[in-house]
Amino acid sequence: MLRYQCEDAVRFWNSKKGEDRECVGTTSRQKQKFTHIAGSKSFACAAEDEEQLSSQKVGRLQLFDITHKKKDGSPMTTEVAEVMEKLKDKKAEYEMIASSDSSVNIDGIDN
């Protein structure tokens, strides 16, 4: 970053418009229900990394599970725990239907 760009950035941060934008961002972050641990890594990259580790394709349900758990394996928030439980119930329900109905495609169950 060049010196004049840095000065412009500081000027913007200290302006009314910059302070308003900061308030909007802070408010938006506080309203988020689902925080993830992927950081700046895209979900596609996180899925690819997991696929390389496990040698299996990672579906959306598994990716949600991977990116919304703490290092100790517990869910990030209670809302995430509730969603994970609902998703697992729906998956089990779908698998039961698929086992009795041959027209249901079980290959896309994670997607």
Helices (H), the chain: 3-14, 16-31, 43-54, 60-67, 78-100
Task: Show pLDDT as tens, one digit a residue, over the chain (111 residues).
Answer: 899 999 999 999 999 999 999 999 989 888 877 777 787 888 889 899 989 998 889 888 888 888 888 889 888 888 889 999 998 898 888 888 877 766 655 555 555
Residue whose entry in the numeric block shows the structure tokens 């760009």: 5
Residue at 111 is within a domain: no
Residue at 9 is within a domain: no
Residue at 32 is within a domain: no
Residue whose entry in the numeric block shows the structure tokens 């000027």: 11
Q: Provide the residue range defining the domain that includes 72.
A: 43-100
- Report CA-CA distances (Å) from 80 to 37, 45, 65, 100: 12, 21, 9, 31
Residue at 94 is within a domain: yes
Residue at 64 is within a domain: yes
Q: What is the pTM of this model?
A: 0.59
User: Running DSSP on this structure, what letter comes out for residue 69?
Assistant: B
Residue at 69 is within a domain: yes
Cα distance between residue 62 and residue 84, in whole Å? 10
The structural domain count of the chain equals 1
The closest of 79, 76, 46, 87 to 63, measured between CA atoms, is 46
